Amino acid sequence: MTASRSLIARYRPGDYDGRATLFRAATDEDPVPLWNGLVRGGLDAHDTPGGHLEMLDEPTVATVAEIIGATIERAHSQEPMAALAG
Domain ranges of the chain: 16-85
Q: pTM score, two decimals?
A: 0.66
Peptide bond into 31 cis (omega under 30): no
Q: What is the pLDDT of residue 82?
A: 47
| Residue 48 bridge partners (DSSP) | 25
Q: What is the pLDDT of residue 75?
A: 85
Low-confidence ranges of the chain (pLDDT < 70): 1, 79-86
Q: What is the pLDDT of residue 65?
A: 93
Cα dihedral: 83, 13, 24, 71 (round 10): 0
